[in-house]
Each structure stands twice: as structure tokens, then as C-alpha cells.
Structure 1
Amino acid sequence: FFFSAMKCRMFYFFFESRNRKDDPVVIWLTGGPGCGSELALFYENGPFHIANNLSLLWNDYGWDQASNILFVDQPTGTGFSYTSDQADIRHDETGVSNDLYNFLQEFFKAHPEFIKNDFYITGESYAGHYIPALASRVNQGNKGNQGIHINLKGFAIGNGLTNPAVQFPAYPDFALDNGIISKAEHDDITKSIPVCEQAAKTCQTQGGTSCDNALNICYKIFSSILSIAGDINYYDIRKKCVGDLCYDFSHLETLLNLQKVKSALGVPVNLEFVSCSSAVYDAMIQDWMKNLEVGIPALLEDGIKLLVYAGEKDLICNWLGNSRWVHAMQWSGQKAFGTSPTVKFVVDGVDAGSLNSYGPLSFLKVYDAGHMVPMDQPKAALEMLKRWMGGKLATQ
């Protein structure tokens, strides 16, 4: 369960495929920044769900049905990953992606039987930053013949934050389209968009405190909408927000803080599991407004495929903002992707989403799902993964 490097210990769960051992290896990264991968493992696409009595129930739509799946607590300080040296706490995607790359090198050394398998990087939310950074790092390592060659075939971002300068300005339009704000409120909020866009541009070129400034300016667009919307769950606009994370994940913290569970997992008994680490969140604050789309075109040109998917009922990393950055991205297939026909994504005869794709790039809007697509639409999410990895996303 642990990969150790110096004073840093990175915690992970690995589940072999329930199907075939030569199924792809998939790594899942939860966002936050600072939220444990166990949130996905037990509430979304892992092999188990947690019952009210804290027993485990099989998840019929776990992604281990189609892959050998890795859930990693990262960056260091997240979940059960810990360090005794503050120098191991990361503040940017260079540090995060190097740690993950080193982790994967050690993982494949420990499990050489999976080296030849296809490899995919997946995740959601703030992992819209982590995923492109890791994909670039793996591709760079492969091209430079560094260590073990990782058979990277693609990466998938679910309801992610990837290009904030495009995504923040989409908030008022999404909120208006969904009846969260009025036209007058929309027009008032949009007045602050040019300042946000300029601040985001400055962050990209200058970094440092200019990125704190950009986040403060752009976040006002989002907070203005929330002040109008009241107790709306900004991860799923059909629901009310309850608690810090807008969902009740208390069973997870109760289960993972049981001494017998920690003992079974080989976790130090004095290490407390919290779903989301405020220390990691704070450490990554200057990374928020960075544009991680910039490294993606080179990956597409190398034939590494990208799936961007988004549940239509999510506000915070909504489908509209994601669609806009995907369409604005400059690469050799930009025009062809932009004019590609929108096709239905059908699962068991049910219209589950709408899909645009060209070459290695696909964008899928998932119906009746919020921020956590595998939790809200588990069957559609598993089918999406299977078809995408098999190169048949557009087929019914």
C-alpha cells in the first residue's frame, strides 16, 4: 500500500481487474486539491461502496470491471500519504507530476507483470490540473528513455479545472441557462469578466502572488452566483449543499479511522484520515489559476488520446466551461473537431449523453449527472471507460 521515497510515503490502493489481467492499468486522481482518492474508491468507481453499518458492498459498476485500477492519495499530505519533511509538500504541477511519475516507476518495478499493459490516466475536478501534467511527464519520460517505459495510451478528465481563464467566465452563462440567476444578474456579474481574464493572463506569465490575485478576482464571479443561489449544491444544482463538502462522506472517515482498518492497511495508528486536507489545499493555492491546457496539444499530436467528460448538472466545473476550453484549444485537429457532428451516447438503449470527437480528442456531456459522474451515472461511466479505451466511444 505504500511507496516510500526519502521521508515521503505515498499511499495507494491497487485492484486487479475482475475481468482479465491484461486489461489496461488505470490510475485515478481525485481533486481538491488535497482530497483523498478514497472518495472515488468508495463513492464512485471503486470495487466497493460503504454500507450504513460500515461493511463493504460490491459495486457492480466499479472500473475494476474493465481495468487494473490504482487509487493514489496525492499530493503528499493527502489522505494517508504523509511526510516528516515539509519540503515534500508540493506547491505546483512540476512537483506533483514528478512525484507521481516516480511513484509509477516504483509501482511498475513492484508489479512488472503489468508493464506491458496499456496505461490510462483518469480523475476529476482539480485533477484537471494533475492529469495533463502527469500525462506530459510520462510522455517526456518515455521519449527520454527514462526508467521503465509506461505504455501511455490516453488521459481522461472528468468535470475538471484545466483552463481557468476560459472556465471562470463561463459561470454566469451556465447559471443563466440553468435558471440559477436572472438576465439582469447575469449582465451585472459578466462586467467583471475582462478583469478576471487579464488577471489570469498575468498569472500565466508572472506566477507567484499574481496567481493569488487572479484567483481572488475570478472567484468573485463564482461567489456572486452562490450568494444569489443560496444553499445550492454547486456540485449538483438539483440538490442542496449539506456540510463542508456538500455531501455526507462521514462513513468514509469513520471506517478509515478505525484502528483495525489502519492496522490492516499498514497505516500508522496515529495518522488521522481526513477526506480533504486543508494544508494541501493551501499549499497549492498559487497553482489554481495556471492553465494546464497548454501541454495538451503536444500530447494529441503524439497520438495520445484525450477524453474530457462532464456531468451536465455540475456548476463548479461545469460542462459549458469545459466545452469552451476544449474547442478553443489550438492543435492540428481544432477545426475538424469544431465542425464534428454531435452524436448521441447511448447506453442500453438510453440516451446518456452527447459526444463530439475527432482523431484523439473526445468531449462527452453526460446527462443527469453532477460533478461526480461515476457516482451519479455509474453504468454510463463504466460504459464510457470501456468504449473509450477500446476506441469505440461513438458506437452504440
Structure 2
Amino acid sequence: MLSFVRKTLLLGLAVVAGATASHAADPSAEPVRIGEINSYARLGAFTEPYRKGWELAVQQINAAGGVLGGRPLEVISRDDNASPADALRAAGELLNRHQVDLLAGTFLSNVGLAVSDFAAHNKVLFVAAEPLTDAMIWEKGNHYTFRLRPSTYMQTAMLVAQAKDLPVTRWATVAPNYEYGQSAVRVFKTLMSEARPDVEFVAEQWPALFKLDAGATVAALEAAQPEAIFNVTFSADLGKFVREGTTRGLFEGREVVSLLSGEPEYLEPLGAETPAGWLVTGYPVAQIDTPEHRAFVEAYQAAYGELPKMGSMVGYNTFVSIAAMLDAAGDTDTETMIAALEGLEVKTPLGPITWRESDHQSTMGAWVGRLEVKDGAGRMADWSYVPGEAVLPPASAVEALRPSGQ
């Protein structure tokens, strides 16, 4: 199983260029059907690269022989329109009409939680790709749900490890007013207060998701006179916040610690307006020089003519993990697949990750660094990769975080 994943990574470019028919999956074999759900219409900046990532993985997997002795992967994809209700309708159609073997995907935390609950009630495996809410694997975790990306807690803890040493005590926060933003602020305040009992939080701003009133938000933050700001806005809201804050001088002489702002999806649109000096999590794609990552980048560029983004990595790792799980399981029985994924180590372009048995969280990590502008474009500088296991609670502590028996 692991040798298969190494082949898809290290020989990815050759596979994309074309594999011999004798090594490809048997087109006459019954496919393994994966029902994939995501917010393509509403959140294309992340989900379109994500789609390209999983399509590349599926192409490589099928060209390299498929899964379960030659069966191809078949993905049936649906758009959830960033709506929990639409996601539930899609999940029902995929399971009942198309009889998929498992579900995968989703982006927004509230959507992911809805599909997770659906998976538990319908006893179907759900491999969540992107939703960051901690509830997905802890207080609302269940036997049928696994999650790939490092969670809100994990990425916030990576930032706090550096933010605690900043010579500031007065903090303000700004975050979208839904599950992800609320949990990010809660975790940041808890971890910062534990690391630095002298800090105080002097202001909070809670704009509606994708409806940021940048002028009012920036004015309110400025009025509180914080020494530092914790930012959780992303996508179009991030651009509005950066431009208005820069115009009004909000960031001058202040530290800003920001989730996700170093990811190409959100950083590239800022261009020369990138706020230099922000401490961020992100993905310095053009600067990572390991054999596994180079193979992934070369294969992605050969397929799409562009550098991958964070979404690309998430989509790719989700489906490489599913393939590895299927080969370890030996069939598509739900309980067998769950048992195979628990504790499974998978080779990825970032190095090996493990899907923890204790809470079904993968140990995929993230990069932490400072933003800078170079040649008119934003990028991460002074970055380092933080593996997920470095910021996750030990298995012994997970039992208290999850519902009884889950």
C-alpha cells in the first residue's frame, strides 16, 4: 500500500504524461464510487484548485492500477452552494441514488458538520477535506467522520507558539461570525491567556461571512487602540480588510497574527498590497524543495500549467489517503474502511501523515511565517513547517474531548 502511494508521488509526472494500458485500472471492473461535495460556485478561489488536486490524484491512481486489485476510482461530485441544506440534499442523492461507497469533501465548517451528522445517522464513511472546526473531531466527532486539514485549534496553536513572545499585551480580534471564526477566536484567547496571563483583549469584531463592512470594522478596531490584532478573515473579506486597514494606518506599529493569510488563494490577489510583517499560516509553494513536493508540483504543472495552491494540496492528499485506505482495507465495507483508516500512515507531498485512531484527525501540518512583498507580489518569508502531531493533544486526552463511545 505505501509503495503504491510512493509511486503516485515520485513518478507522478510520468503517470500524468501517460501510463501503459497494462498498468492502468481495468475499465470493465466495478468502480469504487466516491461522493464528493464542495462549495464550487461560492468559494471557487479555494475549491477549484482543490478539484484540480483531487482530479490529479484520481488520474494518477487509476493510471497506476486503481485500487483493490484493479478497480478504478469514480468520483461523483456535487456543489453544496455553501449551504448545509444543499449539502444534505446532495449527500442523500449520492448515497441513495448513486450508491457511493463513501463521502468526501466540504469546505465551510457548518457545512462539514452537517454532512458529518448525516454520515453518522446513515452509517457511511465521510472523509472531510477542509472544514477546520474542532467540533468535527472532538465535541461533535463520530465514528464515521475523519478530517484531513489541520484544524482551527492546530493552526491557532502554531501561531500562538510565536505570538506569545511578542512584546504586546493589548489584543483585538476580527473574525467572521460563524463556527470557524468563533472557534478560532475562542482558541486564540484561551491559548494566549494560558501562555501569557498578562494579555488582555480590548475589542472584538464579528462581521458576517463575506459581508465585511471594512470601514466600520477598521474604525472600531482603531478606536480600541490595541497593540496587536488576531485576524481570521479570509477570501474577499481579507482583501477588504487589508486595503481599508492599510489606508487608515491600522497596521502601522501593530503586530497582526492571521490565520490562512499566507495561502496562495488569499495571498495572490493582494499582490503589492500584501501587508508585510504579518505572522501567518500558509503555503509557500514555490519555496518548498523536497523530492516529494517537487514531484507533486511538476505533475500539477504538467496537468494544469500553473503552480498548485493550498486547495490543490488538500484535494490531492484527501484522495491519495482514500486510495491508500482502500488498499489497506481490501474492500468497501464501511466498518472495514474505518478500521483501515484508523492509524493509517500515508505518504504525501508534505511527507508522511497519520490518520489518528483516537480522534480521526490527520497529522497533516501547516507552514508558519511572516508576509513580505517581493517583485510586486506577496509571499511567505522566514517560514517553517509545523507537523500536526506537534500541536495535537495526546491520545490520552482525546477521550475527554469526544462524545462518549465515539
Q: TM-score, normalised by structure 2?
A: 0.36
Q: TM-score, normalised by structure 1?
A: 0.36
